[in-house]
Structure 1
Amino acid sequence: MNIRRSAALVAATVVIGAAVAPAAAADSASPSPKVVVPSGLYGSTDPTYDGVWRQSLAFVAQDTVGVHPAKKAVDWLTGQQCADGGFAAFRADPSAACDAKTPVDSNSTAAAVQALAAVGGHDAQVDKGVAWLKKNQNKDGGWGYNPGGASDGNSTSVAIGALAAAGEKPADVKAASGKTPLDALAALALPCSDGKNGGALAYQPDKKGKLAANADATAAGVLGALGTGFAPNKGDAPDAYTCASTKGTDADGLAHNGAVYLQNQLSTHLYLTSQLAGAEDQPDYGNTADAITSVAAAEGIKYTKDPYAWLEKNAGAWAKQSGPAAYAQLIFAAHATGNDPRDFGGSDLVSALNKTGPEPASAASSSSDSDKKKDDDSNDGGGLGTWWIVGVMFVAAVGVGFMLSGRKKQQP
């Protein structure tokens, strides 16, 4: 949703941040010797910064293709919830009660709510998670990664997705000030008059209150404006694909304009480039997948066909290295564009995702052995991050130190 957006990013910056967390190491890397990866958790890397995130994205992605995760995997996620309903990125000892020092955050909580709603049968946990989000809503109607932190586009959008998944109407969830989540997103939107950046959303205003276009936050914000979670359905084609001036909290306008900005970015190279401060100008597979998902959800698939084809051709190695959240992002892109995630450039994303965790309890369909082998053969190589995770990392860098599943983002 990426995201947003990678695990590797979190650890590196002491954070996600990614939107979500990550700067952590790629999923193919060895887990930290200080952290034991639980048997019920998806992925093999150190889960400190993205455990709940990557587990949650995996569940939502599996739900789109009729796969139900193993009980031990679901139990691990529910066991991470604190008594007050919040979730931290990872708790190594879930038997220990959460306290004031437990680093609960909005991204992990919102992602877990979406995941448990998708799995079904966990209304109590979902309701507690929603109650936590409502309790920690900022006066401007949005959410920051850390409770009480300044609202940002990524965290606000993931929270909106959680509210929608739980059956709430996000536009009716108001802070004490009367502000809604849409008010928070609208405050981050750049006007159409801002040239090539018109319609984009900023992650947060800078110290002077200025907004800077951020593709990661825009991809998340489009889904937030649409009132959907990580796995939206395909939208309808627009009458005119240009930025349209809107007023107030026009959800349709925010989503449309954000999608226009993203499509314009994709049309340059068919992919988005890394937005991390100091990063080389290279493809960002996670943000590209998130952008494709958002554009397809808001405006249909007309402008996503070529970028999606590029993703099919180039993102396999990145997903294999980055792990479950990355596979989930690609599955979301396939779902939103009406493509088959079991035939992603010749590989099976669903089978690959399932292999990163406990064997699923059930699946609507499964791939043949030859297809699984083809998937294994086609996914060699390295890769990088996730938009939801990048957002989280940013926050960690300035606070805790995210969003999966990717979360955060760098500030202009």
Structure 2
Amino acid sequence: MTTVRRSAAALAASAVLGMAIASAAAPAAIAAPTPTPSTVPPSGLYGTGDPTYDGVWRQSLALLAQDTVGVKPAAKAVDWLAGQQCDSGAFPSYRADATKPCDAKLPLNSNASAAAVQALAALGGQEATVKKTVGWLKSVQNADGGWGYNPGGASDANSTSIVIGALAAAGEKPDAVKSKGGKTPYEALLTFAQPCGGKDGGAFLFQPKQPGIVADSTAAAVLGAHGKGFVVTAGAKDAKGTVCEKSTTVEGAAHNGAAYLATALAKTGHLNTPPMPGATDPAEKPDFGNTADAVIALTAQGLGDQAKKPLAWLQQNSAAWAKESGPAAYAQLILAAHAAGADPKIFGGTDLVAALNATGPAPEKSATSEKPEKSEKSDSGSDAGVWWIVGAFFVASIGAGILISGRRKNQQH
């Protein structure tokens, strides 16, 4: 991740939400980014939509997904991502002119930074860039052991989980990364875990006082609790099944979170998302992105049987969503297929790898001559998001009076 997040939404609505997010999530002294006026995206970037709010995110997921299935990304695509790094080591969502130093008012965020680390660490040859960003992430760790979307913001489950994945991808031991208050990221994650029973029993909330889209934060946190990033393979079978059990450990919380997801998916095989603000249709819509993330989380937890139904649903129904949403969506599906052992080149009749490759510069290794999928790297390689810029959108929803799964709304064509 994440994460964005990811359900299809109008691009205009995504842009409005992106500005609200940046304004709400950023400290008062930090100005929100201005949408890119040019309609021509940088030549090394995947996707043709305005990259202002998700450029680094979608590029990171695209490159990571390609690497996972043995496709060598185009050199200029990798260079574009690495070139987005600021002198501090942090990554913004996007900066239009990478030849100039980052403006002091340019919002920096943990989600873009952590996603970039996961991608660049997996690709190799970017050790200095990765080390510098990891150093920045450590420097903005909150006293409770977690991370918020923006430096100084309250910790949230999604941001904390994505950073854990980045630390693991960079060869760090997340449980050894302690805040000035002596807290680890796993201790922070436990503060978002809900006890069994009730509406959200077993789930991870975005923040204790701001639940957010619970399936989104839960999918992210299950991977974080396992010390994993966006790229996972099947974990050992969870003999506890889908029963939520009282626990005070991060391992127990991961089981309960996965059990919550399994229960939510059991009836229809997919998750839902609330309607966009101002929508004429009040009905909930299928949430493709969070469903893909849930497949990854269930597989990592060792609940592969429970992941089969949502995986099949995605194979049958996700093609139009991915085509409309762009590279990050294709990447999410590739990572879900990889986790569950499905072939992303024949995913419900869609060659996800070829479709992703077509959204940006031609890879060094074509999809037709790619190597077998890679085995998991450091148990993280990381959906996210694979996740999206989850936290930011929920923070924005508070200020704007809306509640949506943000990281999934920011994907561009």
Is the pair's TM-score, using the shorter chain for normalization, greater than 0.5?
yes
RMSD: 2.7
Shift of 1:251: 2.6
2-structure distance, mates of 1:137, 1:299: 30
Find the counterpart in structure 2 of residue 344 from structure 1.
347
- Return closer, same or farther for 1:386/1:65 CA change in 2, 3 Å cut-off: closer
- Taking the TM superposition and a 5 Å limit, the aligned residue runs for 1:46-65 are 46-65=50-69
For the residue of structure 2 that corresponds to 1:304, the secondary structure is helix
- Write out per-residue CA displacement over residues 204-238 of structure 1, whole angstroms, 9 at most, x where no aligned residue: 1227xxx5771100000011001011111111221
- Taking the TM superposition and a 5 Å limit, the aligned residue runs for 1:25-174 are 33-34=37-38, 36-174=40-178
2-structure distance, mates of 1:407, 1:156: 17
Does the aligned pair in 2 maintain the 1:2–1:289 contact within 8 Å? Answer: no
Shift of 1:399: 8.3
Find the counterpart in structure 1 of residue 226 from structure 2.
226
- Write out per-residue CA displacement over residues 389-411 of structure 1, whole angstroms, 9 at most, x where no aligned residue: 443323456689xxx994689xx
2-structure distance, mates of 1:141, 1:407: 26
Find the counterpart in structure 1 of residue 288 from structure 2.
285
2-structure distance, mates of 1:155, 1:296: 21
1-structure distance, mates of 2:387, 2:127: 28
Does 2:190 match 1:186? Answer: yes
Shift of 1:346: 1.4
Does 2:198 match 1:199? Answer: no
Find the counterpart in structure 2 of residue 269 from structure 1.
268
- Return closer, same or farther for 1:386/1:84 CA change in 2, 3 Å cut-off: closer
2-structure distance, mates of 1:147, 1:408: 22
For the residue of structure 2 that corresponds to 1:101, the secondary structure is coil
- Write out per-residue CA displacement over residues 48-91 of structure 1, whole angstroms, 9 at most, x where no aligned residue: 00000000001111111001111110111111000110000000
Judge which range, 290-299 or 315-324, deviates more: 290-299
- Return closer, same or farther for 1:10/1:392 CA change in 2, 3 Å cut-off: farther
Shift of 1:309: 0.6
- Write out per-residue CA displacement over residues 191-212 of structure 1, whole angstroms, 9 at most, x where no aligned residue: 01x33521100001227xxx57
- Write out per-residue CA displacement over residues 120-147 of structure 1, whole angstroms, 9 at most, x where no aligned residue: 1000000001001000000111100010
Shift of 1:315: 0.4
Shift of 1:243: 1.0
Shift of 1:36: 3.6
For the residue of structure 1 that corresponds to 2:359, the secondary structure is coil
1-structure distance, mates of 2:386, 2:97: 26
Find the counterpart in structure 1 of residue 28 from structure 2.
none
Does 2:353 match 1:354? Answer: no
The aligned length equals: 372
- Return closer, same or farther for 1:366/1:352 CA change in 2, 3 Å cut-off: farther
- Return closer, same or farther for 1:290/1:68 CA change in 2, 3 Å cut-off: same
Find the counterpart in structure 1 of residue 326 from structure 2.
323
Find the counterpart in structure 2 of residue 370 from structure 1.
none
Q: Give the structure-1-normalised TM-score.
A: 0.84
Does the aligned pair in 2 maintain the 1:205–1:212 contact within 8 Å? Answer: no
- The share of aligned pairs that are identical, in percent, is 57
Judge which range, 90-99 or 349-358, deviates more: 90-99
Shift of 1:277: 6.7
1-structure distance, mates of 2:219, 2:190: 14
1-structure distance, mates of 2:69, 2:48: 23
Judge which range, 98-107 or 181-190, deviates more: 98-107
- Return closer, same or farther for 1:16/1:363 CA change in 2, 3 Å cut-off: farther
Q: Give the structure-2-normalised TM-score.
A: 0.84
Does the aligned pair in 2 maintain the 1:106–1:159 contact within 8 Å? Answer: yes
Shift of 1:15: 3.6
